[in-house]
Structures are given as C-alpha cells and as structure tokens.
Amino acid sequence: MSRTDIQPPDVIPPDWSDQIMQRLFYDPPTNSTTGAPIAGVDRSVRAYFHTVSSGLADFDVIVLPAQTIAGQNVLPDALEATMGAQLRSEGFVGAAIVMLGGPGGGSTAQLSNFAWSRFCMSDNLGNWVGELLHQTNLCDLPDLFDFAGDYPSGDNMGPFDQEAGYEATHISAWTKRAVGWLDPSTVAMHPGGVATYTLQSASLIQPPPSGRVAAIQIGAAVPYLMVEARLRADQFDINIPNEGAIVYRVQTSDPLGNAQNNAAPLALLTKTALPAGQSFTTDGVTINVGGAVLGGAFSVQVETIASGQLLSYGDAGTAGNVSDPVVVGFGGWLAFQFLFAGKDVSGNNRIYAVNQSGQLLSYGDAGTLGNVSDPAIVGFGGWQAFQFLFAGKDVRGNNRIYAVNQSGQLLSYGDAGTPGNVSDPVIVGLGGWQGFKFLFAGANVSGENRIYAVNQAGQLLSYGDAGTPGNVSDPMIVGLGGWQDFQFLFAGKDVSGNNRIYAVNQSGQLLSYGDAGTPGNVSAPVIVGFGGWQAFKFLFAGANLSGGNRIYAVVS
C-alpha cells in the first residue's frame, strides 16, 4: 500500500510484489562487503515459522495488487471495510498491509475471526514475524514485553523470546508449548528434591531425542519457574547473546501469555544463559548446569525444597534479605515432636530433636548441603511428654535445656554431649509455666540472657534464670500486647551477632525485634522475610558448628 498525500511521496518500486515474495519465501542475507547472497542461509518469514515450529507451522500467501490510500498514519485494519468481507469469503484467515515507510510501522488489529497486520518494507524480520504471531487465526500471541521493562535491566526476555525482543530469535519453550509447537509431554515437571535432566536445546528441532527433555517446569501454580537450553544453532537463534541454560519465571495464568496484575508475563532471571559449570539460585530452587552433552544438550541438576527438609537461612538484618536457604537436612524432620537449637555445656552448637520414642537427639550442622545426620542420643526417653522444650542460657552464661513438665514446672538440664547424659534437672520455676502461649530463650540487645514467655493476655514477658531452684519469677513486661497472634515466636542472632526476637505474623512475614530490656520497649520490627514463613512445621534459630548464626526451618 502506498499513500497519495505523504511528503516525501512514497516511491513505488516496479518489482514491489517480487520484493515482498522474497521477504516471505526466500531471503538470504547478503555479504556486507560484496553484496552477494550468503549461500545456505534463508531468513525469510516462511523459513522462520517452519524452523521455530519444527515444521508444524506453514502458510501460503497471495500478494494482491497494490492499493493507495489518503492520509499519513495508516491503521492496520484500514482496508477492512472495503476488502475484509471478500477476503474472508475467499477463505483467507488474515491479511497484512505492507507499507513503504521507515521502520517502526509494525501493528496488528485482532478481530473476532480475522486479523490485519501492518509493517513496512524497511522493518526487520523480527517485526514481520512478530506481527504475524499476533494474528487471531495464527498464534494469537500478545507482546511479552508488557510490564517487563527493558532487556537486560528489567524482566524482559529480550533475545530469548521473539515476542519480547523482536530480534527474530526463537520464541521460548513456554511460548512454543502455548501455541502447540512443543509437545507438553516433553516438558519435565520437576517432582521436588534433587533431579538431573538432559536438557535438549529449545533452538533445535523438537521433540527432543529419547531420554532428553525440551524444558523443565518447577512448580505447578503461577508463579513457577521454567528452565530451557539455547544454542546459536540456526540463522535465527544466532542472535542470542550466548549459549547455555536460561531460567525465567512465569507470572501469568493466561494460556497465551497476556499480562496479569501489572507483571511481566515471563520474567527472565538469568540475563545471559548459564554456561556449563555455573549455577543459579532463586525462590528456594538451585539450578546447576553441568557439562555440555553431545547432540545439543546440557546436563542440568535442579534442587528444590521438599517436605521434611531442614533448611538453614542467614539474616543480614535488612528488609526482606532472608531467602535462598541451604538444605542441610534432606528429609524426615517432620516426624519429630520437638526441634530446637542450643549449646551443650562445653559450648558446642547443637540441634536438638525429640523422636517418636521420646529420645532426645543431638545433631551438629557443618553448614553444607545435607550434612545434618547421625545424631547422638543424649536423653534416653520420656522427652515427648513435655509441654515446652527449648534451649538457652541462665544469667551466668551456662548453657541449659529448659522443659515444662505436666505439672507446669520449669526444669533446667545440662547436656555434657555424651549418650544419655541429660537427666536430673533443676526445678527453676515452681509452677504455672504450662499456661503460656509461647516460651523460648534468647538475649536482649545488651546481651543479658533471658527466658521469654507470652501470657494469655498477649504480653511478652522477660525472665532471668539464676540457676537455682524456684528462682525464675517476677518477669518484666517487655511487649505490651498482641504477641499471642503470631504463628511462630523465637529468639536468635542475625549474621552480625545482634540479638533478635523473631516472629511470623498472620501474613507470613518474618519480623525481627530487638529487646532493650525495659518495660514495653519491644516494638517496630524489621520485616526480614517477605512472605511464606507461616508454612513451616518448625522454625527456630541457632548456630552451625562454625559459629554461623542461622535460622532453621522444616518444610511442612
């Protein structure tokens, strides 16, 4: 189409129809020096669709006689009124207006049973195929750059999905699956825990060979993660920045990728592909890219948090920083009656647990993946009968294990670290301790060792234990009310060694408080974990064997 009243005027080439057919059906790039076509390379529109769809998509085109129109800005459906009905009656499923103007003219009008696209001869291949992918009766894809910002500074998929970057690269594996160009059965659904996959490049012909997968989906509900491999394997993905595995988050439930909740439909997390030997951690998931596998694949290990695993977090003390845990215990931690951390009498950092037989077990955490195992049995039986069980220090700094028995007495034990040694407690609180909502030990910001309790009125009480029979009484009220509403309440240290009281509110946020030791002072927390903390079975603080202060959690 040309315009009759544009300045400078459209110059109609005598072979315009032939030029359009070249763009559509065989368009080799030219040598920048000689201008000669580069043999063996076809960057036509048809080659793009055939290659990217692995032969599942094709089209036929008829170039109609040129039209003229008055006006400078031509809408993509400018000819709908005069030609739309006739084209539909002749069996066409869509149409495109090809203009003579400068680049940047791409647009598509999607009708209920038809679509009109518009692009210019000077637009690149990415614009032509991008608009055709929008067509209602073709793929009906939206732009995937909505709410995504720019690549690589924002969430934009950029060169890793044509409908985000418009660089005539492949669309992502998620998008191929959405339009039926990738068999959903070739996308591995990660079951949780640790699994290794042979990930065939999504740049290659699909489906992948036997024993390989086209992509990995981690999670079933939005938002979930996708992992795929990309290679500079053809004349289209030659434009990706590098080869390897990419990780992105799917943030829409719309089957074709329309944006929801003002969030990018697909958010690229790895701005360049992860080559062999690199790893990436996000949302409790670690992706390790092993070696390249001959035939266009990568060995990829995915490790996710599974039910019953023991997780270890660090708290830097800043808003929202607590994330990306280490899985220090691989499974079985849900079965315990009690789980808490403390020190034995020699000062060794321990994780204590009570099993179904009522034994008190003592573990050490070296801080590495899955290392927490092979406990010592430091208490032979009966530990399941307590109302509360936790560890702390008395006011003189002695490491103690505290328990509340069925009579409501507060007992204090020492652990020498040897099998069955924990026995013969001192009764440091004479009664009434079973009536508290929470009971735990920690230290205030001055380093004074305290036992904290939440009473039925929701007040946070602070006690000192002198280590003698019946001495624990006359608390200070350091929190004036509302403490009974928390899901979890415990004390520990952040990674800098600051004494903190941690709480999980009804929204699942992890809050961090300081106690100055004065009446009613505990308030104005820092939100150090943004959400999801209410889902744990156990949540407590302690230290690993190297002295690193940690927050431990067990996945329900």
Ordered DSSP codes for 294-341: TTTEEEEEEEE--TT-EEEE---SSTT-----EEEE-S-GGG-SEEEE
This prediction has a pTM of 0.68
Q: What is the pLDDT of residue 423?
A: 85
Pairing relation of β-strands 215-218 and 326-329? Answer: unpaired
Q: Indicate the DSSP class of residue 172.
A: P
| Number of residues that this document lists for the chain | 556
SS3 content of the chain, % helix, strand, coil (to 5): 15, 35, 55
Pairing relation of β-strands 297-304 and 376-379? Answer: unpaired
Longest Cα–Cα distance of the chain, Å, equals 105
Query: What is the C-alpha separation between 382 and 173, in angstroms, rounded?
Result: 55
Q: What is the pLDDT of residue 7?
A: 77
Backbone CA torsion sign across 535, 550, 196, 194: negative
Phi, psi of 378 (to 5 degrees): -95, -15
Query: What is the C-alpha separation between 205 and 50, in angstroms, rounded?
Result: 10
Q: How many CB atoms lie within 10 A of CB 395?
A: 16
Query: What is the C-alpha separation between 418 and 377, in angstroms, rounded?
Result: 8
Chain centre distance of CA 398 = 42
Instruction: Answer yes or no: are the C-beta atoms of 500 and 509 closer than 8 Å.
Output: no
- What is the Cα Rg of the chain in Å? 32
325: tokens are 């845990």
Q: Which amino acid is at 54?
A: S
Q: What is the pLDDT of residue 103?
A: 76
Instruction: Answer yes or no: are the C-beta atoms of 481 and 467 closer than 8 Å.
Output: no
- Number of helices (H), then strands (E), belonging to the chain: the values are 6, 34
pLDDT tens-digit profile, the chain (556 residues)? 888 777 777 888 999 999 999 999 999 999 999 999 999 999 999 999 999 999 999 999 999 999 988 877 889 999 999 999 999 999 999 999 999 877 777 999 999 889 999 999 999 999 999 999 999 999 999 999 999 999 999 999 999 999 999 999 999 999 999 999 999 999 999 988 789 999 999 999 999 999 999 999 999 999 999 999 999 999 999 999 999 999 999 999 999 999 999 999 999 999 999 999 999 988 878 999 999 999 999 999 998 888 899 999 999 999 988 877 888 998 899 999 999 999 999 999 999 999 999 999 999 999 998 889 899 999 999 999 999 999 999 999 999 999 999 999 999 999 999 999 998 999 999 999 999 999 999 999 999 999 999 999 999 999 999 999 999 989 999 999 999 999 999 999 999 999 999 999 999 999 999 999 999 999 899 999 988 899 899 999 999 999 999 999 998 8
Q: How many CB atoms lie within 10 A of CB 180?
A: 12
Q: What is the pLDDT of residue 1?
A: 83
Label residue 355 left, alpha or beta by phi (over 0 means left) and psi (-120 to 50 means alpha). Answer: beta
Which residues are 110's β-sheet partners? 115
Instruction: Answer yes or no: are the C-beta atoms of 401 and 391 closer than 8 Å.
Output: yes
Backbone CA torsion sign across 160, 124, 109, 154: positive
Find all residues with CB under 8 Å of 52, minimum gap 6, and list them.
Answer: 162, 170, 171, 176, 181, 236
Instruction: Answer yes or no: are the C-beta atoms of 456 and 438 closer than 8 Å.
Output: no
220: tokens are 């079933």
Q: What is the pLDDT of residue 30?
A: 93
Burial class (CB in 10 A: 0-12, 13-18, 19+), 277: exposed
Label residue 335 left, alpha or beta by phi (over 0 means left) and psi (-120 to 50 means alpha). Answer: alpha
